[in-house]
Structure 1
Amino acid sequence: MFFKKENWEIHYAYDGIEALEKFKENPRSWDMITLDLNLPGMDGIQVNNEIRALSTTVPIIILTARDSESDQVLGLEMGADDYVVKPFSPITLIARIKALHRRASLGSEKKLETDAETSFDVVTDHFKLSTKTREAYLQGSPIEDLTPKEFDLLKTLSQKPRQVFSRDQLLQLVWHYEFYGDERTVDAHIKKLRQKIEKVGPQIIQTVWGVGYKFDDSGVSE
């Protein structure tokens, strides 16, 4: 009812198998997935994994029960972009969807631009990042399959090398709303981001114990 008031085109699936079948029909056609983890047939974690195998960029918001903290962390680690805890206000869910969709849409539009020369917003001796194309490179190799949140997180850190950001600061700067102190959101995305960085080169996201995280590529050798 609330989604229809927003004039959104909605497609429902009542179990995990049906959801995955609908997504597979045309993975590129979906703007957003709102995924309940407690589904019959195939649970939400499995559905999330299958969707991420087909698309690394479609935004996914998972819906979880208040007492399922492990599912929340697992969902984020497996590539979901956000989560909302039950019970929740429909207005809150809609606000989260709109915020995530705006950032994802902005990234897609910039990716489609065809300027002959790419301008980079962050350039160091070993790293460069462009918000125009939503691309990042380490030692000349692309850091691939970054989700919208992972890219925004990397951009926020790399724009101020060696500056330490607390988890609360990153929640506000990257997610743009309060997560009520839930720092696991940041940790889960940092973990996935590091895994993708390590595929192309040395680790440039450093942990400052007891404080937070920073970008530092000064230790990268030629």
Structure 2
Amino acid sequence: MSAKILIVEDETELAHLLLDYLRAANYQAEIISDGIQVIPTIDTIHPDLILLDLMLPGRNGIEICEEIRLKGNDVPIIMMTARVEESDRLRGLESGADDYVCKPYSPRELVARVKAVLRRRPQKDSTDNSGIELDRNTGQLRLEGKDANLTALEFHLFDLLYSEPGRIFSREQIMDRIYSDYRVISDRTIDSHIKKVRKKITALKPDKELIHSVYGAGYKFELQ
């Protein structure tokens, strides 16, 4: 799906463990550790879901969650905390959290909860004025109303690049994001997938090059 997950956690080892599990599940993920950074980061990257620790330096998770909701942002929030009292859980949910997970927890269970929360949330198509339309519910890329007939893996690859226009993704970063089973593949495999996606796009939109090679660095999406 390539949904963007913001991990707000000041325990470095735990945060990076979650990062690895989420990326293995084909999610994009970023980490911040300071409560003061949360609102500005949300306004910048517009995550699809937030994993929010309750106890943070700068600001606590309850205050952050309440501010997010007061601003009218309905982004799903899963609160994470070592506090296990019922009153703490209720306060977290009353502040606007969609789910509440007590530490210690299984990273696999947390990823399953992420999937469950996102499934319950209607997922809008991504569209722009170039005639590109991504339907993440069906895994379809449409150009000028016509289906590009991408495979599931090709769709994940295009969605990854499309979600961050202008950002250069190395072949290694693409491998990490689109393969969830840690299989060993070569750079040529990524190049082959890119070539196939380009061919399908060109068949429907011959006047535009959407995926650009950056010599020695990787690939990026950009309208020109």
Give the TM-score normalised by the residue count of structure 1: 0.45
Q: Considering only CA atoms, is the larger Rg found in Structure 1 or Structure 2?
A: 2
Give the TM-score normalised by the residue count of structure 2: 0.44
